[in-house]
Amino acid sequence: MLKETGSLRDIQFTGQGGAISRKMVIAVLLGVALIAFEIFNFDTTQYALTNLLGEVRFLSLIHI
**Alpha-carbon distances, residue 21 vs 2, 13, 16, 18, 62 (angstroms):** 11, 7, 14, 10, 44
The H or E element that residue 35 is part of is helix 22-53
Q: Walk across the sheet containing 12-15 and list its strands.
A: 2-3, 12-15, 18-21
For residue 63, the cross-strand partners are: 57
pLDDT band at residue 51 under the 50/70/90 scheme: confident
pLDDT > 90: percent of the chain: 28
User: Residue 27's pLDDT is what?
Assistant: 94
Q: Report how far residue 24's alpha carbon sits from residue 18's, in angstroms, rounded to the nearest whole number.
A: 13
Is the pLDDT assigned to residue 53 strictly greater than 60? yes
